[in-house]
Structure 1
Amino acid sequence: MSWTEMALNGRILVVDDAMENIQILHAALQDEQEVLFALDGARALDLARTQHPDLILVDAMMPGMDGYAVCAALRAAPETRDIPVIFVTALKTPEDETRALDAGAADFITKPVNAAVVRARVRTQLTVKRQADTLRALTLTDPLTGVANRRAFDERLEAEWRRCARAGLPVALILADVDHFKAYNDHYGHQAGDACLVQVAAALRRGAGRTHDLVTRYGGEEFAILLPQLDAPGAEGVTHRLQAELAQLGLPHAASPTAPHITMSLGLSSLVPRDAQGANVLVASADTLLYQAKAGGRNQYRMGGAGALANAGGQVS
């Protein structure tokens, strides 16, 4: 992505209690950016959580929740703390600007605004944000397989757990372990083992399907597939797709006592988060079910709740 591309086509949230001010900023930005707006702080926080803007322009002085309170609330929430904020305000003193920067603002623009200045400041912040996002993505990616790493999983799990708890929606998790992978490495060598994991990760990514599902290399030959807003029957359907994608690979495994090709054992759990529970309860449940699948002969899955057992072909027994 070029510098110019980084600075354009962002999603900008404008927060001001005066519609005329919103219209001025919209006119200045609409040719380069997507512009959302909110007339109060509470609505701004709701849009920040649900619409994931790249940048927020907020007025300092608003009735009820002012810009400083909005900025503090954004910084306090993990899902919004990395969104840069520009104060756009009639306040002009160095003390006002210092207070905004101390509150976590990335920039400070005084009213009446100059359209060219607003566009330039927005481009700068979008470029910085996207550079930071790119670097952060590198720290959250497993270098071998290209899927998310354990750190990315832990962060995303906590965020989805909180979000689904607020909405009363389920979160599903599949823990999947390549069967007899040590024997695979011993038989074919570690380079072949690495190549196998790359292909398995790609198959899991194809099977997960939805853009907001997260495939993670959880550790060694174990993978985690996080499925927000999916109940147990829906997650079971994903499990069948994962098994089908893996079977289609047909990777030989001559050293496996289970099958002549690569197989996986899987544990599937789906829960609606409760206030008294932490996200670790979902991981513990899926891990227990994975252990049961392995103890039951591998190349199968166990599902939470009913404790269903299925073979690699996906038929519940």
Structure 2
Amino acid sequence: MSKRAVILVVDDEVSNIELLSAALEDDHEICFATSGEEALELARSVLPDLILLDVLMPGMDGYAVCQQIKADALLADVPVIFTTALGEQEAEVKGLELGAVDYVAKPISPVIVRARVRNHIEMKRMRDQLAELAVTDALTGLGNRRRLEQALQQEAGRLARSTADLSIIMLDIDFFKQFNDTYGHIAGDRCIIMVAATLNRAVRRAADLAARYGGEEFACVLPNTSHEEAMAIAHNIRDRVLALSIPHEGSTAAPYVTVSVGVATATCAPGIDPVSWIKAADDQLYQAKARGRNNVEGRVFLEAEMRNTWSEAA
């Protein structure tokens, strides 16, 4: 059974909210806001699948709300349908130019609003499916590098508002070139798939992301995760890969396939480029390799260090 879409209804008249909710609640989850400011805060919290937005509201009107929604990377892809009693063509054109996908005229016709919402929800689901394919690694089914960068950007920005910790894990399959030379590329692909599956099982929370960074290198984004927790996950990944007991005659670290792991944790703050976490974790991965591989290295980075890390990376 498919998940019910979440509709955010924004209107300063409670009677309009009740009418729209009655028309849509059988098929969708409904949340509502009675002002533009409340709508933006709620939208960032629940990430709705569609927003029904009144044009004429006191304070911040619907046009201003739509403009801010489309300027927010987190919300830009959410379709907005304006609800308005305005019948002027100029008003409709203005809304469409700001990024709205449709208009519903007041007084509301339940049949029409249901049909239009259904059509736009279906189109959004199709776009989401295509977007998911674009950020999925074909070999492993994990997120690809683009998905990793998107998640890192999103989480670093979100956590900066509450100055929470973000941890990143980078790991590399040890002596993978020698593995391919010894066993062939088909076996190499199979090894990557097995390591990816192990990584996916070790990173369990819904907010966490496991991704294939490129080649034999993988990464994990761990929001709201302390350094101690991230190190425990990293050691678990290392142990799980070793327990696969994939023979590796070309390795000097162990007779089986192993991984080297780097962990970086820092408190998020405005102005720190998310790339800093990748650079910091990659430096720790380098240390793990330098100390014999099949090893985990990591540390906590201060805010000033993260800013310097980005300056060096740039």
Match of 2:80 among 78, 85, 92: 85
Which position in structure 2 is the counterpart of 1:66? 61
For residue 8 of structure 2, give the secondary structure of its aligned residue in structure 1.
strand
Query: What is the aligned counterpart of 1:193 among 182, 188, 191?
Result: 188
User: Quick one: which of 286, 298, 307 aligns to 1:303?
Assistant: 298
SS at match of 1:246: helix
Contact 1:206 1:245 in 2 (8 A): no
What residue in structure 1 maps to residue 271 of structure 2?
276
- Equivalent residue number for residue 98 of structure 1: 93
Contact 2:266/2:300 (<8 A) preserved: no
Q: In structure 1, what is the equivalent of residue 147 of structure 2?
A: 152
Does the aligned pair in 2 maintain the 1:185–1:193 contact within 8 Å? yes
Q: Is the 8 A contact 1:203 1:246 kept in 2?
A: yes
Q: How does 1:120-135 map to 2 (within 5 A)?
A: 120-135=115-130
Number of residues of Structure 1 aligned to a counterpart in Structure 2 = 301
Task: Judge conservation of contact 1:145–1:197 (CA < 8 Å) in 2.
Answer: yes
Equivalence for 2:246: 251
Cα distance in structure 1, aligned partners of 2:141 and 2:196: 8
Which residue is 1:76 aligned to?
A: 71
Letter aligned with residue 45 of structure 1: L
Alignment of 1:1-317 (within 5 A): 9-305=4-300
Q: Distance in 1 between matches of 2:212 and 2:191?
A: 13
Normalised to the residue count of structure 2, the TM-score between the two structures is 0.93
- 1:236: how far off? 1.4
Q: CA RMSD in A?
A: 1.3
SS at match of 1:167: coil
Unpaired runs of 5+ residues, structure 2, are 302-314
Cα separation, 1, equivalents of 2:130 and 2:271 = 35
TM-superposed CA distance for 1:63, in Å, is 1.0
**C-alpha offsets along residues 99-141 of structure 1, whole Å, 9 cap, x if unaligned?**
1111100110000000011110010000000000000001001
In 1, Cα distance between equivalents of 2:107 and 2:271:
49
Contact 1:265 1:293 in 2 (8 A): yes
Deviation at 1:284, TM superposition (A): 1.3
The amino acid that maps onto 2:24 is L
Contact 2:161/2:269 (<8 A) preserved: no
Cα deviation per residue 1:211-253 (whole Å; 9 max; x = unaligned)?
2211111011000100011110111121132123213322111
Matched-pair contact (CA < 8 Å) for 1:208–1:241: no
AA aligned opposite 2:75: T
SS in 1 for 2:141: coil
* Structure 1 residues 19-77: Cα deviation after superposition (integer angstroms, max 9, x where no partner): 11100000000100000001111111111111111000000011111111111111111
When structure 1 is superposed on structure 2, of 152-161 and 246-255 the one drifting more is 246-255
Q: Tell me what 1:310 maps to.
A: none
Structure 2: distance between partners of 1:129 and 1:276? 32
- Retained in 2: the 8 A contact 1:183–1:256? yes
User: What SS class does the counterpart of residue 32 from structure 2 fall into?
Assistant: strand
Unaligned runs of 5+ in 1: 307-317
Q: Distance in 2 between matches of 1:37 and 1:251?
A: 53
Query: Among the aligned pairs, what percent are the same residue?
Result: 45
Q: Distance in 1 between matches of 2:246 and 2:61?
A: 59
Q: Report the CA distance between 1:305 and its aligned residue.
A: 2.8
The 1-side partners of 2:109 and 2:240 are apart by: 55
